[in-house]
Each structure stands twice: as structure tokens, then as C-alpha cells.
Structure 1
Amino acid sequence: MAGDETADSAAPPLVLASASPRRRELLLRLGLIPAAIQSADIDETPAPRELPQDYARRMAREKALAVHAAGAFVLAGDTVVACGRRILPKAEDQATARACLALLSGRRHRVLSAIALRAPDGSLRERLSETVVRFKPLSRGEIDGYIAGGEWDGKAGGYAIQGSAEGLIAWISGSHSGVVGLPLFETRALLKAAGFAIA
């Protein structure tokens, strides 16, 4: 765990409430290695008529609260791909990934990346990053090629910006790390506001 040289050696540790290797890699960019990783087991079904930003915030909060780590900071996140008011699913099969990419082809969509931090005293802080992403118009061959590569598996909206999909994205406005899965600016600010020692 990163911190200044005067930090108390008994400072509360950081627990990451996610098994995502992408979030671990992003945390490392801040010089942080979680003391533990505990995946939060919660129901991720959107509520009826729940807006994408409300859903992302709720998921991050519930994940932070679901992990039992006494005396630790618990950091949780959730990333949602939204087209209008529609929450796109995590692609678990090729048909879903293909449908997502066809929907996103040539148009703007939003990626909402919420983070929640539970402090050792039980207090909860949260932030939301919103990024606008636009794919180029995708040909059937481009969609087929991307599907064949397998990067879509388990990804919200059926794509991973950190992979070959980035070559199909015309532009983004907002946080690149938020689209990957953990907005680093917001994460650093949240940790500092909670009193966690970070450079």
C-alpha cells in the first residue's frame, strides 16, 4: 500500500471488493496494491425503470457494504454502458455481444463508472465518472472480427476499450480509465478525502 514515509505503519489496509484484474491493474497505476481482494456477491439485476447512473451508484454502494473487512478501507466499483436510458448487459455469449456492438455502431453512448469507499468507521463515500464514447460505423466484417477475438466475454456493452476495440472508437470525452473499469482521478480523490494515505 502506498503512502508517505510518516504514515502510521498500522494504518488501515485497503481491500478491493472486486475480482476484476483490470481494477487491480488500474490501482497499481496509483501505486496501490490491495491488502486483500474480496469479490462481492450481490444481485446485480437492475430495478424496474432504474436509470443507468442510479444503477451504477447502487451497485458500487452495495458491493462496498457486502464485503466484511473490519478495520479496513473497502473500495468497490461498477461500470455501466448505457445507450440513452437503456442499460446494456454484460455480454455472456456472442449473440449478446453482437447485438450490443450493432446498437453502438456509429453512435454515442455513455459509460458510467461508479466507485464507493467504505471507511473503517463505517462511513461511505462515492463518486461517479461519466464518459461519452462514440464507435465508428461498424461493418459486419468488423463486428465479426471483434467477436472472433473473444475480448467481449463478460464485458459491459460487449467490448473492452483497453483491447482492439479501441481501434474502432472514433473518440471519447471523459475518463479512459473509467471506461476500463476504475476512474483513477475520482478514485484518488475519494481515497484522499477519506484520509487514506496516498501520494
Structure 2
Amino acid sequence: MTAIYLASRSPRRRELLTQLGVEHELLLPPPAAGPDEPQLPGEAAADYVRRTAREKALLGAETMRLRRLPERPVLAADTTVILDAEVLGKPVDRADAIRILQRLSGSEHEVHTALAMVCRGQLHEDVSITRVRFRTLAPRDIERYCDTGEPYDKAGAYGIQGLGGVFVQHISGSFTGVMGLPLYETARILALAGIVLP
């Protein structure tokens, strides 16, 4: 197999797959009603991100079957920012983005990006965990950043590959994992489908 389906709406994941030279098509089910990827009561943050990626991959594989599409590996991913065991998801509005960025200011958090791939009826999973330290942010830094519009579609209300990168004092782990698709783990999981990258 030389091509895959990507079960993700993230343009950053598409860009990173293109960077790897992986041929891919989007395979998305109709949008679900209700909250986007809700965390289950009592579910640990690390379990949440893995479950979400797994459910996306399985749903993508089922969509492929129902649409009678050519069989290909289905890759899904989920990225979650975790601070003090709490999931900091995509902000719902400006006030929420400000609240999240205030919490991240001057502290260290983890970014978990879970991968799940369905290939020939088998499920393969991996996860990248990166520690990120933010410098202390002044209120005007947060206000100006929110004015750019960048925080609103991103877990943890920032994009490390964009203007949010100026807040990052130190990173230990995968830069592309924080972006949403860790290239090392992606290459490793794609190799299980026979897609070998340089």
C-alpha cells in the first residue's frame, strides 16, 4: 500500500503528511452532534487522548467499509494539552483562551499526541509525549495573541508552529508532536502498513 486515509480535519496533519511524502485522502464521517470529543467522567487525561484517536480510526475504517471505498490504512490522531492532570482543550471563546493561557504562563505542561491506525482489520497505536515550558506571559501578551485569532482551533489555545511559538521557553520531546502529528511515531506506525519512509 502506498496511500492512506487520514481521519482528521487538521490542516497541520495534512501538511506534515505531505512533508513526509505520504499520499493521503481525507476520510471523515458526518460531524457528530454535541460536544467535540468529550472526556468521559473520571477518565484520566492520558487515557482520553488515546481513546479519542482510537475511536477516530475505528470510525474512519467503518466509514471506508460503508462507502465501499478501496481498502487502505486509516490513520487518526488526537492532540491534548495536559496541565496538572487536567485536559486543556480548544478554547470555546476569547475568555476561555485567556483563562487557558494564564494557566500555562510560567509553567510546564505536557502535550500528548496519540496515533491510531486501522490496517487490514488490525488496530495499531502509539503516543508521543512532550514537555513544554512557557515563559511568564504578561496580560498584554495574551490579549495581543488572542487578537490574532490563532488560539481558537488549537488544543491548549496555542500553536507552537505559529505566533504561539514565542511563548515556548523550552521543549523536551517532539516539536511535530506538539503540532499534532509526531513524525517519528508516524513513520513507525506507517511501517506496519508497509509504507517505509526515508
After TM superposition, the score normalised by the length of structure 1 is 0.89
Aligned position for 2:5:
15
User: Do residues 54 (structure 1) and 22 (structure 2) align?
Assistant: no
Quote the Cα distance in structure 1 between the aligned partners of 2:2 and 2:40.
34
Aligned amino acid, residue 78 of structure 2: D
Alignment partner of 1:39 out of 22, 28, 39: 28
Gaps of 5+ in 2: 66-70
Q: Deviations over 1:84-137 (max 9, x none)?
A: 210112113101110000000000000000000100x21000000000001100
Q: How does 1:24-173 map to 2 (within 5 A)?
A: 24-34=14-24, 36-40=25-29, 41=31, 44-67=37-60, 68-70=63-65, 71-119=71-119, 121-173=120-172
Quote the Cα distance in structure 1 between the aligned partners of 2:78 and 2:87.
13
User: Do residues 192 (structure 1) and 181 (structure 2) align?
Assistant: no
- Give the % identical residues: 43
Quote the Cα distance in structure 2 between the aligned partners of 1:25 and 1:51.
30
Quote the Cα distance in structure 1 between the aligned partners of 2:50 and 2:153.
20
Provide the secondary structure at the position in 2 that maps to 1:152: helix
Quote the Cα distance in structure 2 between the aligned partners of 1:92 and 1:150.
12
Following TM superposition, by how much is the alpha carbon of 1:52 offset from its aligned partner in structure 2, in angstroms?
Answer: 1.4
Structure 1 runs of 4+ with >4 Å offset? 40-43
CA RMSD of aligned residues (A): 1.4
Q: How many residues align?
A: 187
Aligned amino acid, residue 19 of structure 2: R
Provide the secondary structure at the position in 1 that maps to 2:157: coil
Given that residues 64 and 118 in structure 1 are in contact (C-alpha distance below 8 angstroms), is that contact kept between their aligned partners in structure 2? Answer: yes
After TM superposition, the score normalised by the length of structure 2 is 0.90
Quote the Cα distance in structure 2 between the aligned partners of 1:81 and 1:195.
31
Quote the Cα distance in structure 2 between the aligned partners of 1:61 and 1:12.
22
Greater shift in the superposed pair: 101-110 or 48-57: 48-57
Following TM superposition, by how much is the alpha carbon of 1:183 offset from its aligned partner in structure 2, in angstroms?
Answer: 0.5
Provide the secondary structure at the position in 2 that maps to 1:46: coil
Quote the Cα distance in structure 1 between the aligned partners of 2:18 and 2:103.
33
Gaps of 5+ in 1: 1-10
Quote the Cα distance in structure 2 between the aligned partners of 1:196 and 1:81.
29
Q: Deviations over 1:55-104 (max 9, x none)?
A: 11100000001112241100000000000210112113101110000000
Aligned amino acid, residue 39 of structure 2: P
Greater shift in the superposed pair: 83-92 or 96-105: 83-92
